[in-house]
């Protein structure tokens, strides 16, 4: 590299910036371009190669073999591109020969940040994910079934932790439960003797209906309420059963709850968790406003305002606020989702104009820590996985899915660009080409 460094200084007159451009570009950047042009010219002289894209490709290859990092190679190529632009010619990085070489260097030298490809989350897929987040989780279904079953049979938490789906037969009007062989300290419960539970008229508190819903949510193999039947499963069941009346003093019997008490206990465990509310709000706002990950990360509560017709989000750095209209379906309404999430923040004492719009959750605890970019990606990925979507999803899937869905539905491009904060319509060209692949596909027209 020493010979080329000296040659770069000798070739300082290789680049002359026009007067108007010289006032814009810094002298440091112009000097770097002059030196890089001199190095390239010296290599051409040594190898006897004419100036052109082949010479630039040889120069970049030589830099890589000399141990230059990917960032350094990218910086040197940018300096050579500046030379071409000032001369009124296309930059080297857009030439086919150099472009092919760059693809190889991206793999071996890591020229820059390689953004992983993610699948777009189209509107119909988003609705599936939002619907799943609006419904009780499998654990919530199990908690409701455990409360109703304990109230009907007086089985202990230890017995429930050992209960298997093979011990439960759910029929149309009843459920037959065979308690585990371990001794149960409950009056009227004999190990191995079946317990017949009749179905009730109100499915909200009926143990048969709740067992059926739990089976649909979790499957019908293995343990019913636990993973291994150990102490951790027993303690989890006991935490669920604390919503029922406490045990009578000096007795192992638990008094039956009134129907209103039982309904209140079941509804409390079926309420959406803080994580569900946060993720549903995040998906609705991230999709409707076509937010970038950086924009969602920097979003504060003061930037989101509820209006009679919807939400107005003043995204930092954008020229105009993003408008999200109300929806008649409660589970899809961004206004209702934002209000529910702010209620969660208010209960944790985290409401304020300068506080982050989305925060990190530690289990069920709402923390004041701003949700990181990795947390944004993980929230979308887990929500899609919970809805049964197979693919590679991240936070950018929301923005890409909004753009692709709008283009697919023939929305005016200028409106899509305004909502997604594109400076020019050319930024939508890649998304438009991708959507046209399937729309104007010959195989689709032939019915294949």
Res. 392: pLDDT tops 50: yes
Q: Identify the band that residue 29 occupies on the pLDDT scale cut at 50, 70 and 90.
A: confident
pLDDT, tens digit, 9 for 90 and up, residues 238-252: 899 888 887 665 556
pLDDT higher than 70, residue 443? no
Cα(53)–Cα(62) distance, rounded to whole angstroms? 14
Q: Same domain for 283 and 387?
A: yes
pLDDT band at 118 (very low <50, low <70, confident <90, very high): confident
Q: Which residue has the higher pLDDT, 162 or 71?
A: 162
Q: Are residues 194 and 281 in the same domain?
A: no
The CATH number linked to 17 is 1.10.150.130
Domain assignment of residue 131, yes or no: no
More confident call, 162 vs 440: 162
Higher pLDDT, 274 or 441: 274
End residue of a domain, out of 246, 270, 294:
270
Domain containing 249: what range? Answer: 137-270
Cβ burial, residue 45 (10 Å; 0-12/13-18/19+)? exposed
CA 415 to centroid of chain Cα atoms: 25
pLDDT band at 444 (very low <50, low <70, confident <90, very high): low
Please report the pLDDT score of residue 330 as a whole number.
93
Is 129 within a domain?
A: no
Q: Is residue 207 part of a domain?
A: yes
What is the three-class DSSP state of 85?
A: helix
Grade residue 4 by pLDDT with cuts at 50, 70 and 90.
very low
Same domain, 254 and 281: no
CATH number at residue 321: 1.10.443.10
Answer yes or no: pTM beyond 0.85: no
Residue 53 vs residue 315, higher pLDDT? 315
- Beta bridge partners, 197, equal 175
* Total of domains in the chain: 3
**Does residue 64 sit in the same domain as residue 144?**
no
Same domain, 147 and 98: no
Rounded percentage of the chain residues whose pLDDT exceeds 70: 84
Residues 51-69 have a mean pLDDT of 80
Average pLDDT value over all residues in the chain = 83
Statement: residue 110 has pLDDT above 70: no
**Residue 283 pLDDT > 60, yes or no?**
yes
Task: Give pLDDT, residue 276.
Answer: 96
CA separation for the pair 447, 441 (Å, rounded) = 10
pLDDT over 60 at 9, yes or no: no
- Do residues 366 and 433 share a domain? yes
- Looking at 203, 235, 270, the residue that finishes a domain is 270
In a domain, 132, yes or no: no
More reliable by pLDDT, 372 or 427? 372
- DSSP secondary structure, 401-440, as one string: HHHHHHHHTT--HHHHHHHHT-SSGGGGHHHHHHHHHHHT
Task: Identify which of 60-74, 212-226, 252-266, 336-350 has the greatest average pLDDT.
Answer: 336-350
pLDDT score of 306 more than 50? yes
Q: Which of 68-82, 134-148, 158-172 has the highest mean pLDDT?
A: 134-148
Please check the confidence at residue 145 and state whether its pLDDT lies above 90: yes
Cβ-contact 269, 290 below 8 angstroms:
no
**Looking at residues 335-348, what average pLDDT do you find?**
96
The pLDDT value recorded for residue 400 is: 92
Is pLDDT of 5 > 80?
Answer: no
Q: Is the same domain home to 94 and 145? A: no
- The answer to the question of residue 444 being in a domain is no
The better pLDDT of the pair 187, 324 is held by: 324
Least confident stretch, 106-120, 186-200, 412-426? 106-120
Q: Which residue has the higher pLDDT, 210 or 41?
A: 210
Q: How far is 335 from 277, CA to CA, in rounded Å?
A: 12
Residue 127 lies in a domain: no
Percent of the chain with pLDDT over 90: 44
Q: Is 366 among the domain residues? A: yes
- In sequence order, which residues have a C-beta less than 8 Å from that of residue 445 and are 6 or more positions away? none
Check whether residue 287 and residue 256 sit in a common domain. Answer: no
Q: Answer yes or no: do 424 and 285 share one domain.
A: yes
Q: What is the pLDDT of residues 217-236, one digit of tens each?
A: 888 788 888 777 778 888 98
Phi, psi of 97 (to 5 degrees): -65, -45
Helix, strand, or coil here: 277? helix
pLDDT reading at 52 higher than 60: yes
Task: Show the CA angle centred on residue 341, arms to residues 148 and 393, nearest 5°.
Answer: 90
What span, in angstroms and rounded, lies between the C-alpha atoms of 136 and 142?
10
List the structure tokens of 313.
């989000």
Is the predicted pLDDT of residue 184 greater than 70, yes or no? no
Q: Of 245, 270, 295, which residue sits at a domain end?
A: 270
- What mean pLDDT is predicted for residues 353-365? 93
Q: Are residues 177 and 223 part of one domain?
A: yes
Structure confidence at residue 115 (pLDDT): 46
Look at phi and psi of residue 409 and say left if phi exceeds 0, alpha if psi is from -120 to 50, else beta: alpha
What gap in Å lies between CA 354 and CA 365, rounded to an integer? 20
pLDDT of 356 > 90? The answer is yes
Query: Looking at residue 103, what is its pLDDT?
Result: 64
Distance CA 180, CA 167 (A): 8
Q: Which one has a higher pLDDT value, 443 or 375?
A: 375
266 & 278 share domain: no
**Does residue 119 belong to any structural domain of this protein?**
no
Assess whether 228 and 163 both reside in one domain.
yes
Tell me what pLDDT residue 131 has. Answer: 95
Instruction: Determine contact, residues 224/168, Cβ cutoff 8 Å.
Output: yes
């Amino acid at each position: 590299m020493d010979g080329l460094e000296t040659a770069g200084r000798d070739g300082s007159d290789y680049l002359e910036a026009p007067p108007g451009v010289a006032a814009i570009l810094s002298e440091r950047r112009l000097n770097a371009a002059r030196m890089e042009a001199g190095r390239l010219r010296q290599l051409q002289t040594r190898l006897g190669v004419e100036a052109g894209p082949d010479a630039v490709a040889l120069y970049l290859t030589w830099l890589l073999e000399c141990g230059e990092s990917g960032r350094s190679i990218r910086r040197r190529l940018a300096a050579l591109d500046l030379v071409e632009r000032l001369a009124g010619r296309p930059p080297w990085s857009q030439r086919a020969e150099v472009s092919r070489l760059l693809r190889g260097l991206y793999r071996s030298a890591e020229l820059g940040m390689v953004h992983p490809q993610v699948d777009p989350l189209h509107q119909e897929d988003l609705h599936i994910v939002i619907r799943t987040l609006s419904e009780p989780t499998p654990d919530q279904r199990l908690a409701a079934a455990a409360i109703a079953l304990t109230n009907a049979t007086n089985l202990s938490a230890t017995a429930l932790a050992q209960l298997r789906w093979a011990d439960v037969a759910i029929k149309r009007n009843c459920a037959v439960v065979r308690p585990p062989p371990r001794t149960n300290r409950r009056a009227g419960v004999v190990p191995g003797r079946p317990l017949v539970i009749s179905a009730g008229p109100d499915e909200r508190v009926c143990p048969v209906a709740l067992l059926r819903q739990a089976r649909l949510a979790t499957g019908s193999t293995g343990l019913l309420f636990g993973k291994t039947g150990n102490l951790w499963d027993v303690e989890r069941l006991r935490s669920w059963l604390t919503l029922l009346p406490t045990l009578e003093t000096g007795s192992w019997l638990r008094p039956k709850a009134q129907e209103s008490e039982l309904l209140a206990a079941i509804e409390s465990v079926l309420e959406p968790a803080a994580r569900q509310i946060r993720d549903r709000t995040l998906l609705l706002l991230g999709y409707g406003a076509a937010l970038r990950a950086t924009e969602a990360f920097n979003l504060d509560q003061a930037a989101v305002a509820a209006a009679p017709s919807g939400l107005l989000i003043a995204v930092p750095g954008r020229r105009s606020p993003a408008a999200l209209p109300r929806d008649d379906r409660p589970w899809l309404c961004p206004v209702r989702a934002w209000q529910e999430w702010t209620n969660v923040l208010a209960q944790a004492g985290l409401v304020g104009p300068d506080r982050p719009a989305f925060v990190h959750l530690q289990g069920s605890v709402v923390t004041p820590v701003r949700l990181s970019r990795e947390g944004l990606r993980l929230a979308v990925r887990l929500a899609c996985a919970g809805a049964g979507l197979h693919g590679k999803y991240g936070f950018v899937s929301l923005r890409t899915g909004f753009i692709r869905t709008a283009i697919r539905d023939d929305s005016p491009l200028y409106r899509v660009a305004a909502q997604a904060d594109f400076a020019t319509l050319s930024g939508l060209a890649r998304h438009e080409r991708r959507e046209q692949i399937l729309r104007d596909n010959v195989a689709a027209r032939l019915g294949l």
